[in-house]
């Protein structure tokens, strides 16, 4: 077995981190291969708030745990610190998972098997929600799943919530997480898209399942709309090497208006679903509307900083 690292980027979420580290201890790894697995916890809080939590778990952990304090705040900064630490540890593969998630026991094996089967530069798996309370009738719960489109057995996108990278191929391509996305998110989408642009494949591992904890403050239509709006902005920023050039701006404005029009039409058609007891179908129409708004905002340089100092804990 090639040496494999698991990266967890954390920020003031020790309860979730404890659950995750406990679940990692139950991964389905042969005892003879346990020494080939390392867990890297990148603490992005300014005062090392996760240090004690990590060391408490490390005392009896099944795998080596490496604690790293990255005080330069930002998602890309934390993920790039994980890349550097994994390489220094001699790892060939690096799997990312979030500090509010729990993997199935076969998660790591499934990602690595997909990578090796396809000779891919990365592998992605699905993320499914676990809600803190029963969702209300207005909430389109399917929107909390993250299952990218798959074509000919390969994923067309990927999220650092459930992603494995081949560190050698990543280094050969000269790719890392883009610092422009430190406060906005989308750094993982940018990296995956850049790998694909350079001809690499993203292996799909449908059995590499991760469960995402959805707290009550994220179980709102407002939270979903903000996330959908940010999605549109990210797509606009990734649409061209210079998304603010006149040609790219015109394309993003057009895409924005098309989505606004299409989403509005969809909302009108689905309005009767409220009376039929399925209001979530009406709310789901706003996915397209919010993405359109994000495209228009992104075309003119507006950036929604979801992970800034004021918004970081709302994701």
Complete domains list, the chain, with CATH? 4-218 (3.90.550.10), 221-314 (no CATH)
Q: Which of 184, 52, 183, 163 has the alpha carbon at shortest distance from 112?
A: 163
Confidence at residue 1, expressed as pLDDT on a 0 to 100 scale: 76
**Core vs surface per residue 146-175: b (16+ CB within 10 A) or e:** bbbeeeeebbebbbbbbbbbbbebbeebeb
C-alpha–C-alpha distance, residues 48 and 204, integer Å: 35
Confidence at residue 158, expressed as pLDDT on a 0 to 100 scale: 93
Confidence at residue 312, expressed as pLDDT on a 0 to 100 scale: 45
Which secondary-structure segment (H or E) carries 281? helix 279-284
List the strands of the sheet with 64-69, edge to edge.
64-69, 37-43, 4-10, 93-97, 162-166, 122-124, 202-204, 154-155, 150-151
Length of the chain: 315
pTM for this entry: 0.91
Place of tokens 């549109």: 232
Confidence at residue 301, expressed as pLDDT on a 0 to 100 scale: 79
Q: Dihedral of CA 8/11/13/18: which sign?
A: positive
C-alpha–C-alpha distance, residues 46 and 283, integer Å: 38
Count of CA atoms in the C-beta half-sphere (13 A) of 233: 23
C-alpha–C-alpha distance, residues 138 and 219, integer Å: 10
C-alpha–C-alpha distance, residues 119 and 169, integer Å: 10
Residue-level pLDDT, tens digit, the chain, 315 residues: 789 999 999 999 999 999 999 999 999 999 999 999 999 999 999 999 999 999 998 989 999 999 999 999 999 999 999 999 999 999 999 999 999 999 999 999 999 999 999 899 999 999 999 999 999 999 999 999 999 999 999 999 999 999 999 999 999 999 999 998 898 888 999 999 999 999 999 999 999 999 999 999 999 999 999 999 999 998 898 877 677 788 889 999 999 999 999 999 999 999 999 999 999 999 999 999 999 999 999 888 777 776 655 544 434
Confidence at residue 308, expressed as pLDDT on a 0 to 100 scale: 59
The CB density around residue 273, as the number of other CB atoms within 10 Å, is: 17
Confidence at residue 68, expressed as pLDDT on a 0 to 100 scale: 96
């Amino acid at each position: 077995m090639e040496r494999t690292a698991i990266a967890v980027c954390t920020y003031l979420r020790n309860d979730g981190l404890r659950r995750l580290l406990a679940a990692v201890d139950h991964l389905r790894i042969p005892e003879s291969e346990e020494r080939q697995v390392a867990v890297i916890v990148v603490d992005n809080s300014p005062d090392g708030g996760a240090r004690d939590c990590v060391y408490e778990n490390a005392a009896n952990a099944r795998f080596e745990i490496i604690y790293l304090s990255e005080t330069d705040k930002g998602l890309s900064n934390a993920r790039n610190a994980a890349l550097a630490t994994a390489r220094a540890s001699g790892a060939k593969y690096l799997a990312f998972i979030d500090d509010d998630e729990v993997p199935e026991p076969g998660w790591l094996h499934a990602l690595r098997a997909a990578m090796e089967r396809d000779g891919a530069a990365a592998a992605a798996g699905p993320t499914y929600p676990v809600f803190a309370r029963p969702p209300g009738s207005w909430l389109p719960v399917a929107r909390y799943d993250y299952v990218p489109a798959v074509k000919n057995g390969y994923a067309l996108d990927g999220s650092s919530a459930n992603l494995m990278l081949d560190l050698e191929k990543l280094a050969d391509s000269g790719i890392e997480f883009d610092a422009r996305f430190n406060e906005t998110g989308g750094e993982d989408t940018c990296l995956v898209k850049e790998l694909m642009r350079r001809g690499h494949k993203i292996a799909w591992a449908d059995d590499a399942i991760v469960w995402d904890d959805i707290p009550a403050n994220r179980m709102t239509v407002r939270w979903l709309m903000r996330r959908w709006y940010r999605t549109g902005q990210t797509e606009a920023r990734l649409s061209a090497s210079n998304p603010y050039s006149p040609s790219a701006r015109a394309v993003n404005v057009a895409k924005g208006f098309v989505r606004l029009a299409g989403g509005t039409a969809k909302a009108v058609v689905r309005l009767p679903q409220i009376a039929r007891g399925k209001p979530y179908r009406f709310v789901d129409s706003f996915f397209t509307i919010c993405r359109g708004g994000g495209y228009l905002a992104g075309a003119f340089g507006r950036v929604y900083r979801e992970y800034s100092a004021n918004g970081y804990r709302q994701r």
